[in-house]
Amino acid sequence: MKIRYALSVFAFLLIFAESAYAAEILNIRNWTAPDHTRIVIDISSEPIYEFEEKNNTLIINFKGASLHNSIPAELDLNKPGIKKIMFSNIVGDNVKIEFILDKYQKTQVFKLKKFQDKPDRVVIDIFLEQISQDETAKEQISKVRQKKIIVIDPGHGGDDPGASGRYGTHEKNIVLLISREIRKAINNIPDYRAILTRDGDYYVSFNKRLQIAKDSGANLFISVHADAARNRKAKGSSVYCLSTGAASNEAAKLLANNENLSDIIGGVPNGEGSPESGQIILNMFQTNTINMSKTYASTLINKLDKVNSLKYKNVQEAPFRVLKLPDIPAVLIEMAYISNAEEEQLLKNSNFQKKLALAVASSVTEYLAGTASIAQGNDAIQGDYKASSTDDKRQQEPVTDQSELMTQYYKVKRGDTFFSVARRLNTKATVIAELNNMKTKDPLYVGKKILVPLKNVEGVGKSEGNGANQKINSGAMKKATMIYTVKKGDTLFSLAVNNSTTVDELRKLNHMKRSEHLVLGQKIKLP
């Protein structure tokens, strides 16, 4: 009798243990993006499931599972790609969930492990049918690409709320509102067009955010965020650029680590994405792109300083995944501290949002107007000349035919740009670009051979023979400088832009501290 009783108790404990560890379906949530609808199933523990798709219905069977009593038998969604969801308990502690689909292209089902405050989840992405573009739509895209394109990236979204304030304000909502204001401010400027990476409460993966910038031919990429810290007194705006090495300080490192978790929190298959592709992007990176990002960031900081206090007065650096664009200047803005009660209220204020937006728009036009003047010059070819042998005064004429230029090959080195090579050869970046059927904003890859005008100038090795298509002695190239007298209205930024360099390089060249400013009449060195 005692043995039978003991066996009965043991069997009861086994049954109780199985039911205690069964996965309970806790909640169903959904998000709608322009190209897909996402359904998220929250589960109490790691699920065991199988699924099949047939006759416009996706069926997921969960083994050893139960439904929370708050979940109805049927849920009418009527969202793009899906009509409704039906739930039912089946024999053997199993749960069947049926998704009635409508006008969809395909589905994707994957699970996410418990992370931070997120439970185990099963994610169902229902991709929508692609609408074919007619000729009118193609013409509109062509017109957009004739403008200066700025991609505005509202951070987080969907299942990733970002930081939260004391009064329940979520970063994902605030940065979307501010980003829409930035878009509005930029679109009010002639020949400028702003594009958002997301325009609703849904998550966009890092790869897709970057792809939007590449596909649109963006001139700038600006990721918008709101900062948070354990110290509730921390406040101020800050601007970050990509660092391919260490972060500029410990706070920047922690911030980047947190932001880089977004794909895991927001819900992307395989979590952090492919490390191989990330390494390829890093290898493609040009020093010029990072320098341009820093130059723009300096302008942006000056504009933000007029709207809000600054956390850092200088550009900060950290390895942000969302900034890994090989040939597009990219920055990340922390508009203010959402964890600071005062700044949380400011971030929610529509007037403050508009002031931030105008500051960003102003920085964009100031920066791109400067880079455009460099890229275009007074004329695409003006300034490169051929000597007239019949004139004792060596009257100079503009070269109108590239075939009249004697050329040589140059092998691109690390850090080279069209502008830096043009400076060494005493020519214009546009000339070199046109010789190679490229644009001045195109990246130069290390080891690539490009055509450059043949010129025997100081600091460049002389070529043998007639000089045509000869290789430059790149090791003999040296940076030449000139003395410049500071005029009214000059700033380090304007001089950096006009001389195809960066503010930091100018400071280094003139042994200037960050606290020093230009003085009228001051003599400085320029490249």
Burial class (CB within 10 angstroms; exposed 0-12, middle 13-18, buried 19+) of 26: middle
Residue with tokens 């043949």: 454
- 385-476 belongs to which homologous superfamily? LysM domain (3.10.350.10)
pLDDT at 492 over 80: no
What's the rounded Cα separation, in Å, for the pair 211 and 200? 18
Q: On the CB side of 67, how many CA atoms lie within 13 Å of its CA?
A: 17
Residue 281 has a pLDDT of: 46
Residue 115 has a pLDDT of: 81
Where in the sequence of the chain do the CATH 3.40.630.40 domains occur? 137-373
Which tens digits make up the pLDDT trace of 146-187?
688 999 999 999 988 888 998 889 999 999 999 999 999 999
Percent residues over pLDDT 90 in the chain: 33
Three-state secondary-structure class, residue 54: strand
What's the rounded Cα separation, in Å, for the pair 101 and 126? 8
Residue with tokens 């921390």: 234
pLDDT at 356 over 60: yes
Q: Supply φ then ψ for residue 37, to 5 degrees.
A: -115, 135
Residue 160 has a pLDDT of: 87
Residue 201 has a pLDDT of: 93
CA distances from 122 to 110, 142, 270, 447 (A): 6, 40, 13, 46
Strand partners for 58: 53, 99
The CATH label, of 3.40.220.10, 3.40.630.40, 3.40.50.720, 3.90.1150.10, for the domain at 137-373 is: 3.40.630.40
- Report residue 91's pLDDT band, with 50, 70 and 90 as the boundaries: confident
Q: CATH top-level class for 482-526?
A: alpha beta
List the one residue out of 177, 460, 332, 147 whose CA is nearest residue 169.
177
What's the rounded Cα separation, in Å, for the pair 468 and 449? 15
pLDDT at 519 over 70: yes
- Report residue 250's pLDDT band, with 50, 70 and 90 as the boundaries: low
Burial profile 224-256: b = 16 or more Cβ within 10 angstroms, e = fewer:
bbbbbbeeeeebbbbbbbbbeeebbeebbbebb
List the one residue out of 69, 258, 270 whose CA is nearest residue 164.
258
Which tens digits make up the pLDDT trace of 289-347?
888 888 899 999 999 999 999 999 899 888 788 888 877 899 999 999 999 999 999 99
Q: Supply φ then ψ for residue 365, to 5 degrees.
A: -65, -40
Strand partners for 38: 31, 125
List the one residue out of 463, 469, 467, 459 whose CA is nearest residue 435.
469
DSSP letters along 408-419, please? EEEE--TT--HH
Strand order in 220-227's β-sheet?
A: 192-196, 148-154, 220-227, 330-337, 238-242, 316-318
Torsion-angle region of 159 (φ positive above 0: left; ψ -120 to 50: alpha; else: beta): alpha
Is 369 or 312 the better-scoring residue by pLDDT?
312
Domain 24-128 has CATH 2.60.40.3500: yes
pLDDT at 353 over 60: yes
Three-state secondary-structure class, residue 23: strand
Three-state secondary-structure class, residue 394: coil
Q: Could you say which DSSP state residue 212 is in?
A: H
What's the rounded Cα separation, in Å, for the pair 366 and 192? 12
Where in the sequence of the chain do the CATH 3.10.350.10 domains occur? 385-476, 482-526
Reading the block at residue 401, the tokens are 């035919």
Reading the block at residue 35, the tokens are 């190209």
DSSP letters along 105-155, please? EEEEEEEE--BTTB-EEEEEEEEEPPPPP-HHHHHHHHHHHTSEEEEEEE-
Q: Considering the entire predicted model, what is its pTM?
A: 0.62
Residue with tokens 């492919």: 274
The mean pLDDT value of the chain amounts to 76
What's the rounded Cα separation, in Å, for the pair 156 and 203? 6
DSSP letters along 276-341, please? HHHHHHHHH--HHHHHHHHHHHHHHHHHHTTTS-BS-SS-EEE--GGG--SSS-EEEEEEEETTSH
Is residue 239 within 8 Å of residue 316, measured between CB atoms? yes
